Structure 1
Amino acid sequence: MERVFVDRVEAGELLAERLLAIRDPVVLALPRGGVEVAEPVARRLGVALDVLVTRKIGYPPQPELGVGAIAEGGEPVFDLRLLARLGLTPEALARVVAAERRELARRVRVYRGERPLPALAGREVIVVDDGLATGATARAALRTVAAAGPARVTLAVPVGAADTVAAIGQEADEVVVLCVPAHFRAVGQWYEQFDQLTDGDVLNVLARNRPKG
């Protein structure tokens, strides 16, 4: 099953069609890229949009290689198999984790200010991102959500690597994925337009979909 999306907005509109049965959910986007996907979802479901901030923990010699992730309010989640292959331990990444905690805190302040995460206890929650590669950030986010006691959690993404989609099912009640390509290299290859978003882009989307109260 392969499909190339025009952009994140189109992907979000298509994703929303698969989520219409979920009534009055809390929609949480993983910034930055997940915010543009989540906006059409929140609009179609008639609910506000908020963010759950995550940060990838990169392999120091190759920071783009994610060996784990951390979400606001949670502890680092590591890919222990990958760490073992790289000859690393979580303790060896303490400096990287500390730096990512600082950046995570900065983004929380920028995106939400003093406003806390929405109350999730007993609620239906949809976590949205623009794709699943290693799944590290999604896993960290889902564990933070689970700790808040929601009634049900759905992870919704337009595209994902097959092995990651299969593994992440243990972290959510449902995983909704539009496209699981046979040959997956990176999330961006499945979008015609995949521009990197800025903090300003995220703030503009949130301003249009600000939670009430």
Structure 2
Amino acid sequence: MVFRDRRHAGQELAQALMAFADRQDLLVLALPRGGVPVALEVARALHAPLDVIVARKLGVPGHAEYAMGALASGGIRVLNADLVRQLRIPDAAVEVVARAEQQELERRERLYRDRQPPLVVCGRTVIVVDDGLATGSTMLAAVKALRLKRAARIVVAVPVATRRACAALRADADTVICANTPEPFRAVGQWYGHFEQTTDDEVRQCLAEARSVLAGHVPGDFDDGQRQE
């Protein structure tokens, strides 16, 4: 299946998640940037609040498109030690990439949250959404961060992914829903008609839309008392 765009992918993905609709403990979290428009449609369909969990891929030096690991909010770092060893990447080179990505992670958190703290995760059922998974390393970092935040149940949900990434995530998430696992996979963008890069402004617009449209369905979840201290 080829999705028209990320919004269409979110609408299709939501159909596989309707069992979670209208739960009082439900929270939808998006991986920025591409996961946010997908997650907005999921949150709208399930009548759930939407927030972001920021994670960053650690690209192999000189080949940034290949992931050797990932970072997530809360100081989480996931590293593919076998790959690092196989490619003989020095520790110092890993640290250079990690520092740069940590700075970008912090910039995005400041920009997207606009001084608002994240929504409460502890004790809640959390659906984590991205626009697709190739290696799954960034999603894994997000899942580990949510474990530290004591989420009651973690559901990974994506419109398209490799079978290998979905299988690997099942060891850490409680539930993994991959709407499509085509073979051969090649790249996430192959399964979208329009796959332009999501901008920071679009992320902020989606979050604002979620707050204004969905707040009426889940009273109080957007109040300060429902956010992390």
Taking structure 2 as the reference length, the TM-score comes to 0.89
CA contact (8 A) 2:10 2:38 kept: yes
Please state if 1:29 is matched with 2:13: no
Deviation per residue, 1:188-210 (Å, 9 max, x gap): 00111111011001011011012
Provide the secondary structure at the position in 2 that maps to 1:88: coil
CA contact (8 A) 1:15 1:158 kept: yes
| Counterpart-to-counterpart distance in 2, 1:165 and 1:194 | 21
Deviation per residue, 1:17-57 (Å, 9 max, x gap): 11111123110000000001001100011122110011111
Question: How much is the aligned-residue C-alpha RMSD, in angstroms?
Answer: 1.2
| Counterpart-to-counterpart distance in 1, 2:85 and 2:46 | 42
Question: Partner residue of 2:207?
Answer: 206
* Structure 2, gaps ≥5 residues long: 212-220, 224-229
Aligned runs of 1:1-213 on 2, under 5 Å? 3-22=1-20, 23-24=23-24, 25-88=26-89, 90-210=91-211, 212-213=222-223
Query: What is the aligned length?
Result: 211
CA contact (8 A) 1:69 1:77 kept: yes
Which amino acid in structure 2 is aligned with residue 183 of structure 1?
Answer: P
Deviation per residue, 1:47-77 (Å, 9 max, x gap): 2211001111111111121111101113211
State the shift of 1:84 in Å: 2.0
* Structure 1, gaps ≥5 residues long: none
Provide the secondary structure at the position in 1 that maps to 2:154: strand
Runs of 4 or more above 4 Å deviation = none
Deviation per residue, 1:119-149 (Å, 9 max, x gap): 1111100000000101111000000011111
State the shift of 1:81 in Å: 2.1
User: What is the percentage of aligned positions where both structures have the same residue?
Assistant: 47
